């Protein structure tokens, strides 16, 4: 087991996990911080907290390239499935840091402790997802870092670092919700290819991600209610200001609605572009 540094508070544990370049250390720190917070063995903040990193720690590999240079993947071969799983591992790794950043960066916000309960559960589960996908890659003779990955996901955190409502609009309600849209087709294709083990991993991720979008929707609506703003109109305004490009159809309306993200939020924005 990886030896953990001392964790002074919830914010400190989250910041140290974000900063960790060793991915075993990152995932263990994220999950141990979540456990201690859930057991109420940590305060929210302390004077000894690590400063929240501007960028997450990363190993030397994979090479990070522009999203436009990523090669399209087919699932008809083992190499194609490895490439897809590698891309999913990269998404899950970024999702760990995005959840932790919501906790660490916004620890001074006037929100109930249950806000942090929800996001630490998300961080815990994202760490679980990364490990599951990485284990599956290793079973297929590969590992995370073997292929290039794109560096666009963290941009969402940087662009919304000063506005919690904008962060919730962009990260869980766009990026995580997109996973609900695309994962069912990937599950089916994995099964068609006979890769039941990879499909089973995607099953776990899909069910958990519904809860992650629900956490985002719950707290987005909470903040809008406190500010006496209409949630759907506020979402659309924040997306236009903070998200690059249109929202992509098709949408998994049923799963999104189960998570509290109704079509009134996003349907009118399908073809919108930002200036």
Q: For residue 67, what pLDDT is reported?
A: 73
Residue 39 predicted with pLDDT over 90? yes
Whole-structure pTM value: 0.94
| Residue 1 binned pLDDT confidence (cut-offs 50, 70, 90) | low
User: And the tokens for 51?
Assistant: 């400063």
Q: For residue 90, what pLDDT is reported?
A: 96
Q: Is 228 left (phi over 0), alpha (psi -120 to 50) or beta?
A: left
Q: For residue 271, what pLDDT is reported?
A: 53
Q: Give the DSSP H/E element, type plus range, for residue 241.
A: helix 231-242
pLDDT tens string 43-56: 999 999 999 999 99
The CA–CA distances, whole Å, from 99 to 63, 120, 141, 208, 273 equal 23, 7, 30, 14, 27
Residues of the chain above pLDDT 90, percent:
83
Residue 273 predicted with pLDDT over 50? no
Mean pLDDT of the chain: 93
Residues 59-86: what's their mean pLDDT? 84
Task: Locate the domains of the chain by residue range.
Answer: 8-152, 160-275
Residue 274 predicted with pLDDT over 60? no
Q: For residue 74, what pLDDT is reported?
A: 72
pLDDT tens string 140-195: 999 999 999 987 778 888 889 999 999 999 999 999 999 999 999 999 999 999 99
| Residue 275 binned pLDDT confidence (cut-offs 50, 70, 90) | very low
The CA–CA distances, whole Å, from 39 to 33, 112, 127, 213, 239 equal 10, 16, 19, 24, 36
* Closest listed residue to residue 170, CA positions, set 225, 118, 94: 94
């Amino acid at each position: 087991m990886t030896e953990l540094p001392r964790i002074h508070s919830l914010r400190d544990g989250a910041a140290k996990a974000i900063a960790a370049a060793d991915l075993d250390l990152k995932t263990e720190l994220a999950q141990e911080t979540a456990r201690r917070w859930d057991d109420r063995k940590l305060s929210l903040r302390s004077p000894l907290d690590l400063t929240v990193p501007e960028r997450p720690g990363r190993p030397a590999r994979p090479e990070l390239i522009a999203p436009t240079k990523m090669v399209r993947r087919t699932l008809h071969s083992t190499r194609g499935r490895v490439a897809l799983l590698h891309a999913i591992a990269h998404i899950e790794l970024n999702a760990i840091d995005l959840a932790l950043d919501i906790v660490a960066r916004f620890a001074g916000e006037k929100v109930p402790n249950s806000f942090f309960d929800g996001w630490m559960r998300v961080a815990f589960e994202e760490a679980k997802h990364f490990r599951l996908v990485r284990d599956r890659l290793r079973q297929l003779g590969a590992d995370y870092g073997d292929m290039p990955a794109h560096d666009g996901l963290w941009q969402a955190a940087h662009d919304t670092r000063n506005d919690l409502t904008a962060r919730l609009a962009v990260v869980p309600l766009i990026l995580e919700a997109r996973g609900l849209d695309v994962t069912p087709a990937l599950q089916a294709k994995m099964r068609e290819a006979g890769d039941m083990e990879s499909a089973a991993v995607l099953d776990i991720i899909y069910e958990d991600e519904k809860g992650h979008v629900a956490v985002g929707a719950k707290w987005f609506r909470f903040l809008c209610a406190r500010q006496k703003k209409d949630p759907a109109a506020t979402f659309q305004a924040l997306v236009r200001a903070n998200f690059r490009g249109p929202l992509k159809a098709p949408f998994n309306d049923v799963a999104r609605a189960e998570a509290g993200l109704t079509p009134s939020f996003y349907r009118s924005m399908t073809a919108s572009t930002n200036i």
